[in-house]
Each structure stands twice: as structure tokens, then as C-alpha cells.
Structure 1
Amino acid sequence: MTVLLGHSARLALRVSLRHIPRKALPPATLLGLQVYISSWIRVFSLASVCLCVFPACEDRCQSNRSSVQPPSCCGTCRTKKTWPRTFSQEELKKRLSPIQFHVTQERGTESAFRGEYTDHKEEGTYSCVVCGAPLFRSETKFDSGSGWPSFYDLVKEESVTATDDFSYGMHRVEINCSQCGSHLGHLFDDGPKPTGKRYCINSASLGFQPKDAPSASSHPSSGEGAEAGAGGSSGGKIEL
């Protein structure tokens, strides 16, 4: 558009100068008039560039800012002071395995592809390993290829809380149990239909209740899940 504007202005200048009798103005004056008008054409061309480019940049900036907002409908918001259920650290250290305690209480991450429930396909309900609150149904579990159990939906929206996480120099959405505040994993917007969500969860933060099993607490014994998180860290992979 700017090129066309400059071209049109120069064309108009040439046309207008043709209508000025050559003898009406001295050559020096005519040359000065051409230079003066040409300089204003450059000014208007530069102004048109600013008017076109700056709004487009602002639109892109607004788009980028909006893209880092937490995914919608990803849970309720609570502070740790309002968790309905609380447990002492001493109790949890006795009841949970080291990796379960590290993940749920210290916001740790288990090694990718080594969790107990990564390839688990049994029908049932996955719950919080700390308080037993139901979180995910087996029919919403899918293979994301990430190395951690992945789900595209919750048992109910209020099952988890979502919090901004800026660790490792990136922005992610941390997911915690809404009942006891235990760290579960992270939420991403690259899941399958119908939700488009991917709840990327540590096996060490989960318990499991088989579909046909009688209702019972999902709390595991202190040794259960120890092998699932052996290694303690994600081996350099920090997606979760």
C-alpha cells in the first residue's frame, strides 16, 4: 500500500508540474518546488508505514499475551489455607513412598515412561494418592506419548485447582488436588477432542480404584508406587 501511495503521489506531482507553463517559473524555483513536494511525499509514505505496521504489531502482541493465559475450565481456584483436608508432613512421610511424597508435597516429577500408570489400561477411577478424592475416569485416559499418564477430562471440574507455574523459565499451568492441595502434574491445551485438554499427571500422585472393586480408600501402602518413580527425576525431560 505504501509503494502504491508513493507511486501515485509522484505521478500526481509529474502531472501537476506539466500544467505549469515552463516560462511561468524560473528553472531554480521549479527545481526547488519539485524537491519540496518530493520531501513531503517521503514524509507521508513513512507515516503510512507506521500506521500500517504498528497496529499489526500491537495485534500480534495482544495475541501472544492472550495465548499464555491459563486454559479455561481447568478447575477451581483455592489457596492452601482453604484446603478441605489437611495432613501432617510426619503422617504423609510414613504413609507415602519417597517418590509419592516428593511429587505430591514437594512438586517433584517422576521419571518419564517409568510410572506405574503410564501404560495402565484397566477400567476404573484414578484418585488422589494422598486424600483419595476421585480425579479421572479410565475412559478419559489416552496415550499422549509424553511418558506420563494423560487424561482429557476430569471426574468433575471441581476436582482440581489450576495455578500459573513459571519454573524452568517457561509458563505452564500446575494442577493440584482441590481437596488436599497435593501436586498432580500440569495441564496443556494440546489434548484430543472433545475437550482439547491434556492433563499430564504423575503416576506417583495417583491411586486407582478398579471398576468392579468394592468402594474403598484409594490410599496406597507406604511401599506402593516406590518402583514407579525410581530415579526421582525426569531425566532432563521437564514437560510435566
Structure 2
Amino acid sequence: MNSEETPPADAGAPGGVWSTVSPRFGASPDWRAAANRRHWPGGLALLFVIGLGGSLALLAVSLLAARTGYVNTLETELLERPLVEQLLLVTLIAPVIEEFVFRLPLAARLRLGALAAAGAFGLLNFAGGDGPVIVVAAVFGLMVLLSGALWIQSLIAGVARPDAGGESGPAPPTWRDSVARWWEAHPRWPVYCSMAAFGVVHLSNYDVSWTVATVVVAPLVVGPQIWLGLMFTIARVRYGWWAGLVLHAFHNFAVWSVTSAVGQ
């Protein structure tokens, strides 16, 4: 294996809990599961602390950047709802939707069904947005079209493939095979795209008058969400999709508990 090839997808992430969940994953993403998944309680606890601390540190920059023309409408709209409804939205509905859409496909093996389902659900949820959210919705639409095209082409190739033992030799790889190899060898692109899209859709939490200034500072405004997206992605890749969901729900509950107490 040459130096440019990735390690086997099922190889465990090296080191202890810290090495497994270190934010350095953001600089060099990989698809490796935790070396010992039984350590998930400690891993998720560490990710919770890092995520909360990092998001609070970035919040000051976010609030400063938001002064260019962003008005946060989410908190007001949420506090107008009954307490039980707030709790369900924050700790169950939002984490399930967002983890399904943004992190379900993030695994070493390309699964067209997961990619298509995430794209379709994302398109359904975000097609009504405006500004940059429209771009994310368009990407979800492309995910659905790409998944469908790869599935149809592989299906046609499977029907046309000669019987085993024929004189034609091995069948050429399908588009799906090529995309799957690229996906496994280049995890940074699926991971980065997922994190960026996760940040962009949170711009819908604001009422924005789009100008050059508001566009330039947009990544800073959603910096806390991008950071948390990294934490949820690490949990998903290392421990499984359910782990990202649990971490997301606990983080939302912690933030909601503080903001609702302050707002009342």
C-alpha cells in the first residue's frame, strides 16, 4: 500500500479516548471507528465538553459578526411555544432531522440508499428557505439525482454483465464502483460538505438583509454550529449514527435549559 492510500475503513482509531475524539479529526478526517467502542460514554462526555466550550468561545465572535445585519428570530419563536413542545423540538425532533440529513451517509462504504434518503429529507425540510439555504437545498436535490443515476447505471450494468466464466473477462467497473472508491479514499470532502451545509442551514435562524457584509461574515455567525457539527461528526464516525444523535440531543438540552431559564 502506498503512502497516499487510506488505511482500511474498519481499522480502529488509534490511541485512547482523547486520540479517538480529538478535534484534529477536522484537519484530517478519516472513516475509522473507535478502537474500542465500549469507551463511548467517556468519548461522548469529552466531545460534549469540547463542543460546549468551543461553541461558547465562538459565540462572542458570532454575536459580534451578527451586528452587521442579523436578527436572531429562533429564540423568540421557540420561547413562545409551550414548555413541553419546546423540549420535544429541541431534544428530539431537531436532532433526529439534522442527524438523519447531515450525518446518516457519513460512513466508509458509500450507501446509495442512505445518500438518497438524506438528500430527499433535506430537500423536503429546506426547500422553503431563502438566501444560502436555497443552495443547500439544491445540493440535496443533486444528491437524490446522483444516487438515482448511480443506482440505475449499476442496475443496467448488472443485467448486461456476462455470466461468470464467459470469454469476455471481468466486467468494467460501474460509475457506482468508481464513486464508492473515491468516497472511501477521500473522507474529507463528504465530511467538510456536511459540516458546511450544517452551518449554512442555521442561517435560517436569523432574519437577514443580505449585503456584501452579511455574506462575508456568515461563516462567523454560524461558527458555533460548524464547530458543533464537527463534534457530532466525530461521534457519528467513531461510534455510530446513534452516538451523534445522543450527543446532539444532550447538547441541545443543555443550551435550551440555560436559555429558557434566562428567558423566563
TM-score (norm 2): 0.24
Q: Please identify which structure carries the higher helix content.
A: 2
Larger radius of gyration: 1
Which protein has greater RCO, CA pairs closer than 8 Å, 6+ apart?
2
